[in-house]
Amino acid sequence: MLIILSRFKYNLNKGYDRKDLSCCKSNIIKDKKINPKKIKSDNMQKVKIDLKEIAEECFVNKSLIEKVEENNLIKIHYHGKSPRNTPKPMILPKQINIDEEFVENIGMYIGDGTLSPKRKQTEFTTIDIDMAKKYLRFLRKTFNLAIDDMTFIVKYRRGRKREVKKKWANILEIPEKKIIAKKENKYKIQENMAIIVNSIIFTFLFKKIIEKLLPIIKENPKLRKAFLRGEFASDGKFVIEKDIKTYYISEITFCFNYKKELWLKNYLISCLKLEGMSKINTNRPGFIRITGWDNYFKLWQMRIFDCCQRKKNKFLFTLRQSHIYPIIGSDVINSIVNSINLQKKVIANKININRTNLFRVLKGKQLLTIEQFNNLTQLINKSPKNFYNQMNGIRIGKITYLPFSKKFIDFIIKEKFNGGDKIANCENKASGERSEEVR
């Protein structure tokens, strides 16, 4: 099924709010060419946008000049009232495929971007190198934009101007002279890169594309997940609570401007509910808070951290520090211990538990952590997977209980024991603070 977005008629001068989204959705349903049930059920549909027709909608009051170039490119420009008001022509693809990577960048842009038709430019700002590279690749690969169409501004607090410019030029693979470096004296500022597209034509086209895509993204499961990944990379955070011996995640949160982005709040909540999220709290203005490891695991399966490696690494590091206990009967533990031809003191040392606590485990008064249970099963040349059918559930920390899930325990075992080197650099020195926000 091919959806050409230019079919959808929508007034774009109102701006984003809750009414806009409902209006846009109703227009899709009224369109006789599109079957809404088909949109919901067909996950493999191909979505394309026709920039020629979208440009005609954007500049309906202008004397638009369009010239089809070779290699599926189209030259778009118009003459203003004077040469000063005539924008630079843009050579863009005539049609663009909408895939998960495209929608991830839309989500990132809605979170960390500003779209200003008055200033005739679009701007995306981030502190993360991987996000800056991803967005720049999106502009160049998808829209065929040249480096000369963009401005790069890096703000920094420490270091020399020349070194900062050279570093970012190497990262983005662009000429050093294209980067403008500005030193800031604000105490809490983090080094960040702003990628600005200086074109009023692109600004209006990009705004129109986003507005037309939003209702379709929500109805398509793959695109919906991609949007949430991009939005979380830019405007998401999670809160880590620190105990004496362990860390644990108390919430995963999507942030928004509660004065200007009511539409985004409602849009995100509807997308999250379609993904099966429960325990969504919106009592605090500007935050959509998600709690519970059942939800965290669903978010992980959506690859919610994949667009920001820094957040992903911190999440995995926190997971490794969390105490996770497989709930398994003491009779099973006793049978394993009795089958080992070693003294209980030696067994306790090998599984990293003191002897007193081992006796409490054998009496059913205490649980083994997943690491201790893994060490115990290795003494009989087995793994925890051999005892899945005897596990009744999982406890995380002191109070969180989950029903047994093979997928979840596989995920825990993989991340606890197999990927330590990948996130070794995430560990921070101990601090006096009991909680930490990772934005």
225-267 pLDDT, tens digit per residue, is 999 999 999 999 988 877 656 677 889 999 999 888 899 999 9
Determine the pLDDT at residue 389.
87
Q: Please, are residues 317 and 438 in contact by the beta-carbon 8 Å criterion?
A: no
The first and second tokens of residue 337, run together, are 């211990």
What are the CA-CA distances from residue 297 to residues 302, 319, 435 (Å)?
Answer: 9, 11, 21
Q: Give me the CATH topology for the region 324-438.
A: 434 Repressor (Amino-terminal Domain) (1.10.260)
pLDDT at 69 over 80: no
Determine the pLDDT at residue 351.
92
- The average pLDDT across 338-367 equals 92
Under the banding of pLDDT at 50, 70 and 90, the label for residue 436 is low
- The mean of the pLDDT values for the chain is 82
List phi, psi (to 5°) of 182: -125, 125
Domain residue ranges of the chain, discontinuous segments joined by +: 235-310, 324-438
Phi-psi label, residue 144: left if phi above 0, alpha if psi -120 to 50, beta otherwise: left
CA distance 214 to 210: 6
List phi, psi (to 5°) of 236: -105, 160
Q: Which of 29-43, 381-395, 403-417 has the lowest mean pLDDT?
A: 29-43
309-350 pLDDT, tens digit per residue, is 999 998 888 888 888 899 999 999 999 999 998 899 999 999
Strands 2-4 and 46-50: parallel
Determine the pLDDT at residue 386.
87
Q: In the chain, what are the helix, strand and coil shares in percent, each to the nearest 5? A: 45, 20, 30
Choice between 159 and 83, residue whose per-residue pLDDT is larger? 159
Under the banding of pLDDT at 50, 70 and 90, the label for residue 97 is very high
pLDDT at 187 over 70: no
Determine the pLDDT at residue 18.
34
Determine the pLDDT at residue 4.
43
Determine the pLDDT at residue 27.
35
Strands 73-78 and 64-68: antiparallel
Determine the pLDDT at residue 433.
53
Report the share of the chain in percent with pLDDT over 70: 82
CA distance 3 to 45: 8
Q: Please, are residues 123 and 117 in contact by the beta-carbon 8 Å criterion?
A: no
Under the banding of pLDDT at 50, 70 and 90, the label for residue 10 is very low
Q: Which of 102, 63, 108 is nearest to 81 (CA)?
A: 63
Give the strand order in the sheet containing 73-78.
64-68, 73-78, 90-93
Strand, helix or coil for residue 106: helix
